[in-house]
Amino acid sequence: MLLPCASESSGNSRYLDIEIVRHQEISAAPTLALPRDRFVRARSGCGAQAPPDVRPYDRRVRAARDWPEYAADGALVLGGAAAILLQLGDPVVARGVAAHSAFARDPLRRLEHTLAYVYAVSLGDDELRRLVAGMVDGAHDGVPGARDAEHQTWVAATLCWTGMRTHALLRGPVAAALADEIVARSERLATALQLPAGAWPADRAAFDAYWDARILALEIGAEAREVAGQLLHPTALPWWARPAMPIVRALTPALLHPSVRAAYGLPLRRRRAALALALVRTVLAITPRRLRELPSRRLLARLRHHSSRKPR
């Protein structure tokens, strides 16, 4: 993947070449990883070698320091499309989404429901977790395979993996201890959907092994590609949300393994990805944390209001 390089470069374009490599001290094993690739280092055409801990490419942004800061970061929504495309690599999930989801009719409503679930499970109390789990469980009634442990684990794993990968792309990888915590806490995304206890990978190494094996078994068929088209080229978006879609379309391929990109027919347009990434990092640099966390606060407040109105 190529990112802007402010200093001298070869040829007419200025980019920073990002190479996937192994490095035992970096914390993002399951996030920057694809099969048997673990970590990212920067190699610039100007001859400068970035430190192996991959500091953010824009010094005005930094990695999250703790779970609340990580989980509430609204910028992680930019990885949502990549997570869904990975989920659709499970044919059972793809069939369920194609038959029962509302991507084409109301994509923002679908996004809001997904974010509400993730924020409630990640940052809410037990009452909010029970509330959203009941909502999702009801929505899954009649959907074949929706309650199977195998598919629940995969859906939750894609949220865990793409969240950390998106964070690493935008801000740099999190510390090892926080990466361990993210994997551990992500179990709730699956157990809230009735995943049996003990079915989630026991630790980050186990998650890593699970991911490596599962990514190789993806089957991206016609149903998945049809939903992907609706997801990346929605026709029902309000006017104010449409400017975000070119950024999503530019960054989503950069978050996916080359084989997944190829299966969906999504080329990695390096110049567009570099420009989109530079724009997002600039916005992150000037946006206060409180504003970045506004979506999570608003959705959690709405859920608490809804919970308070329910009969006891």
Q: Taking residues 11-26, report their average pLDDT.
A: 31
Q: Tell me, yes or no, whether 38 lies in a domain.
A: no
Helices (H) and strands (E) counted in the chain, each on its own, are: 15, 3
Q: What is the pLDDT of residues 171-227, one digit of tens each?
A: 989 999 999 999 999 999 988 877 888 899 999 999 999 999 999 999 999 989 998
pTM of the model: 0.80
Mean pLDDT of 93-113: 76
Beta sheet of 39-44, edge-to-edge order: 2-4, 15-21, 39-44
* Structural domain total, the chain: 1
20: helix, strand or coil? strand
**Taking every pair of C-alpha atoms in the chain, what is the biggest distance, in angstroms?**
68
Give the rounded percent of residues in the chain with a pLDDT score beyond 70. Answer: 76
The model's confidence at residue 33, banded by pLDDT at 50, 70 and 90, is very low
Whether residue 211 is contained in a domain is answered as yes
Residue 185 lies in a domain: yes
16 inside domain: no
Radius of gyration for the chain, computed over Cα atoms and rounded to the nearest angstrom: 19
Instruction: Give pLDDT, residue 101.
Output: 67
In a domain, 29, yes or no: no
Nearest to 85 by CA among 210, 277, 206, 219: 219
What pLDDT is stored for residue 7 in this prediction?
30
Q: Is residue 163 part of a domain?
A: yes
Q: What pLDDT, on the 0 to 100 scale, is given for residue 187? A: 94
Please report, as a single letter, which amino acid is at residue 229. G
Asked if residue 86 belongs to a domain, the reply is yes
Task: Decide if pLDDT at 254 tops 60.
Answer: yes
Q: Which two tokens stand for residue 42?
A: 């920067």
The answer to whether position 76 is within a domain reads yes
Residue pLDDT, tens place only, 126-154: 999 989 888 877 776 666 666 788 888 99
128 is in which domain, residue-wise? 57-309
The pLDDT value given to residue 117: 93
| Residue 17 confidence (pLDDT) | 34
